[in-house]
Structure 1
Amino acid sequence: MTTTQGHQSQARIGLVGAGWRAEYFLRIARELPDRFEIARVLVRTAESAASVARAWDVPSTTHLADFLADRYDYVVVSTPPDVARELIEALVSAGVPVLTETPPAVDVAALRSLWTAVGGAPVQVAEQYHLQPHHVARLAVARSGLVGEVSSVRVSTAHGYHGMSLARRALGIGFEPVSVSANTVPDPTLAFRGRNGFFDTLEEVPNERTIALLRFDGEGPRTAVFDFSEQQYWSPARSRHLGIRGTRGEIDDDDVHYLAGPANAVTARLTREATGIDGDLGGSHLVRISLHGDIQYGNRFAPARLNDDELAVAETMHLMARFVVTGEPFYGLAEASHDHYLGQLVQAAATSGTVLHSSPMPWQEAGL
């Protein structure tokens, strides 16, 4: 794989796994064949291999040695975290760069062990939430200085490590020490849909809401409020939110409020521009997200028909291809390990009912 005149050539990718999440990579490669090729898929069973070949017209195998006999620019490991480590180590030993799914390991002990094994290897992690278009735009506004120096964030968007990655990026911090207090409260709601679509009936399901306060050490007060329940992934009755506060203003989802000067408070809105609406015959895709006419997110994958989450995963694939050529990391094993550690710390604080303090972790020495 090479780059010419700033354009990235097609990345030849191996894929391990064939589940719900692995299908993201297959769909994206199908929609963007000039950018990505899934060359071969490694699965556990002959039935899965046959299913992948039939559904996606991609060669598949159940044997690691056969899989490694092919040539890849990188391999995506899209398996449960309890089996990912062995695969990551085998690929690293074979000299293959790895893009692995979140989380990279099950718990803190496994994170430590994985870091010891492959901490310095070419491994990146496919965390996509901060790459979703609306979050890219919000984080861009926060970094621009429009709302001043950011001191606090409220993340009510995704669970655990996903939420922690957004919180750290909104605050612009790395691996600073943190104290965590948390609680869980019942949040009963009616189940509306799941991964496989809408339910036939509306039935109340147990739904637990986790609310946490994280106080980060360092220069100036920096805090994150984490507030999430599982049904926020699926139900329009439980919406998702991201709030970022700075000294001059705040970002409240897509609304931006800021002080432009004395007696001059401004309210603006991040605006999505998409094709295929009303009489627009230019396909059906997101074009850009802007604020005051300034582009905060531009869709490099247009005109492919991809939803926001697919656009974010496609971005991890693009960034991984760039990483292979340039060595420029985008979300490495250190960051992924730390965000999962913080998510585990939140759960531990909620379970214990006490304030917990972070401990030094081996990946912190790597920095960002």
Structure 2
Amino acid sequence: MSEIFTRSGMRIILIGYGWRSLFYYRIIKALPERFTLVNWVLHSKQRAEQVKQQYQTTTSFDVLEALSYPHDLVVLCVPSLSLQSLLPTLIECGETILCETGFTQLSLQTLSTIYTLYAQSQSRVFVAEQYYRYPYFQTCDALIPLLGPITEVRGACLHDHHGTSILRHFLGEGGGNCSITASSRTSWVVKTGGRDSVDTEGIRIPTKHTTATLAFEDGKTGYFDFAGVAYHSSIRSRHFSLCGERGEIFDDTVRYLNTQNEGICQVIKRIEDGVANNSPLSLRAMAFGDTYHFKNPYWPLGFNDDEIALALCLEDACWGKGYSLSEALQDSYLAQCIHRSCNEQKTIETQTQVWAKALWREKEQ
């Protein structure tokens, strides 16, 4: 698909409107040499006209009409119920799709039906599970050789399928089965903010805290730990750790054995411009020792980590690679099993799903 980059940019149709879709709009507009928005599809004629006027772009309220525009990729950014109907339509049209992660809310039967349709099609579906493309997590990936074989991953930073995707990614699991033992409790915490706000009123709110142990058949273990306020709280921290036979990563601290089996401790550092000077505020790189293990390809643009990761997901889809539909379905299935374990108060033994063979093939490539 390299011919895409010989044109003015990857031609994108964006379907959906809301907080998440605006991430894609900002990325596309900030990178005109890489991406071109050829049509933005909304759910009604009124909303299409509103978005056309506000963002000065071509819009439509009919998916099939929008698909008549020359394009390279369809970005599907809609709620779960709309995803359930729109994704099969796009698959049947043979589209290359970057789809948002709305699968956990759909039934297991629906997930299986979608995958079966996809496996019989000429479509290519990638999913915008952006967290493994975060600068921090890419740096952790690069440092795994220091740690030796990974045995345990603990993620107290991401919810549902996002959390299971990080566990499965770093454990190197494909469609392997596991035993899931989970529990959930509600407690009180003072609200400190939201997506776009800071709250100083001192209001107490209930928050659900879910923990789960995923014991895989190959002996590796994932620990899922998430509290509902974690994304937007200034008094609840987030945590990630990797344990290997020769070392560990604990948030930004790396402990490992050197070639003489002596213990070494070093720190992962963010190299950011514009923090204490008048340069544009932008992440330049992630450093460990004297090496940059992640260089921001969009520097010096002021992208946050979510925008960097989503832009990389867009580029991955352009090159015909990325987080696959089978991965998304497996991680959503594992998240559903965590919920089942909490609700039924028992250990859940996962079962091999219809997409498992594809997962193992992808892992071997």
TM-score of the superposed pair, with normalisation by structure 2: 0.93
**Alpha-carbon distance in 1 for matches of 2:355, 2:139:** 29
**Alpha-carbon distance in 2 for matches of 1:163, 1:203:** 28
Structure 1 residue 3: Cα displacement: 4.3
**AA of the residue aligned to 1:246:** G
Structure 1 residue 192: Cα displacement: 1.5
**2:223 counterpart residue number:** 225
Structure 1 residue 46: Cα displacement: 2.5
Structure 1 residue 138: Cα displacement: 1.4
Structure 1 residue 200: Cα displacement: 5.5
**Alpha-carbon distance in 2 for matches of 1:201, 1:32:** 39
Q: CA contact under 8 A between 2:12 and 2:39: conserved in structure 1?
A: yes
SS in 2 for 1:331: coil
Structure 1 residue 186: Cα displacement: 2.1
Q: CA contact under 8 A between 1:103 and 1:161: conserved in structure 2?
A: no
**1:23 counterpart residue number:** 22
Of 349, 357, 366 in structure 1, the residue corresponding to residue 341 of structure 2 is 349
SS in 1 for 2:334: helix
Structure 1 residue 234: Cα displacement: 0.7
Deviations 1:280-317 (A, max 9, x none): 63x22111101112222111111221100111111110
SS in 2 for 1:202: coil
Of 140, 143, 156 in structure 1, the residue corresponding to residue 142 of structure 2 is 140
SS in 2 for 1:51: helix
User: Which sections of structure 2, spanning at least 5 residues, go unmatched?
Assistant: none
**2:242 counterpart residue number:** 244
**1:305 counterpart residue number:** 302
Alignment partner of 1:149 is 2:146: no
**1:61 counterpart residue number:** 60
**Alpha-carbon distance in 2 for matches of 1:294, 1:102:** 33
Name the count of aligned residue pairs.
357
**Alpha-carbon distance in 2 for matches of 1:209, 1:235:** 14
Deviations 1:310-365 (A, max 9, x none): 11111110101111xxxxx3111100000000011011111111111001100112
Q: CA contact under 8 A between 2:2 and 2:319: conserved in structure 1?
A: no
**Alpha-carbon distance in 1 for matches of 2:135, 2:253:** 15
Deviations 1:238-290 (A, max 9, x none): 11111000111110011101122557211101111111133363x22111101
SS in 1 for 2:129: coil
Structure 1 residue 47: Cα displacement: 2.9
Q: CA contact under 8 A between 1:13 and 1:38: conserved in structure 2?
A: yes
Equivalences for residues 79-90 of structure 1 within 5 A: 79-90=78-89
SS in 2 for 1:123: strand
Deviations 1:53-99 (A, max 9, x none): 23321111112232122111010000012111322222223232111
SS in 2 for 1:21: helix
**2:158 counterpart residue number:** 158
Q: Aligned in 2, Cα 1:206/1:258: closer, same or farther, shift over 3 Å?
A: same
SS in 2 for 1:306: coil
**1:13 counterpart residue number:** 12
SS in 1 for 2:213: strand
**Alpha-carbon distance in 2 for matches of 1:206, 1:180:** 25
Of 343, 358, 363 in structure 2, the residue corresponding to residue 366 of structure 1 is 358
Of 121, 124, 138 in structure 2, the residue corresponding to residue 122 of structure 1 is 124
Structure 1 residue 44: Cα displacement: 0.8
Percent of aligned pairs sharing the same letter: 28
**Alpha-carbon distance in 1 for matches of 2:216, 2:133:** 23
Q: Which moved more, 1:283-292 or 1:257-266?
A: 257-266
Of 286, 290, 293 in structure 2, the residue corresponding to residue 293 of structure 1 is 290
TM-score of the superposed pair, with normalisation by structure 1: 0.92
Q: CA contact under 8 A between 1:31 and 1:305: conserved in structure 2?
A: no
Q: Aligned in 2, Cα 1:255/1:8: closer, same or farther, shift over 3 Å?
A: farther
Q: Aligned in 2, Cα 1:186/1:41: closer, same or farther, shift over 3 Å?
A: same
Q: CA contact under 8 A between 1:103 and 1:337: conserved in structure 2?
A: no
What RMSD in Å do the two structures reach over aligned CA positions?
A: 1.8
Q: Aligned in 2, Cα 1:128/1:81: closer, same or farther, shift over 3 Å?
A: same
**Alpha-carbon distance in 1 for matches of 2:22, 2:273:** 25
**Alpha-carbon distance in 2 for matches of 1:202, 1:30:** 39
Structure 1 residue 8: Cα displacement: 8.5
**Alpha-carbon distance in 2 for matches of 1:167, 1:98:** 25
**AA of the residue aligned to 2:39:** R
**Alpha-carbon distance in 1 for matches of 2:215, 2:327:** 18
Equivalences for residues 331-346 of structure 1 within 5 A: 331-346=323-338
SS in 1 for 2:192: strand
SS in 1 for 2:29: helix
**1:94 counterpart residue number:** 93
**1:326 counterpart residue number:** none
Q: Aligned in 2, Cα 1:66/1:253: closer, same or farther, shift over 3 Å?
A: same
SS in 1 for 2:28: helix
SS in 2 for 1:215: strand
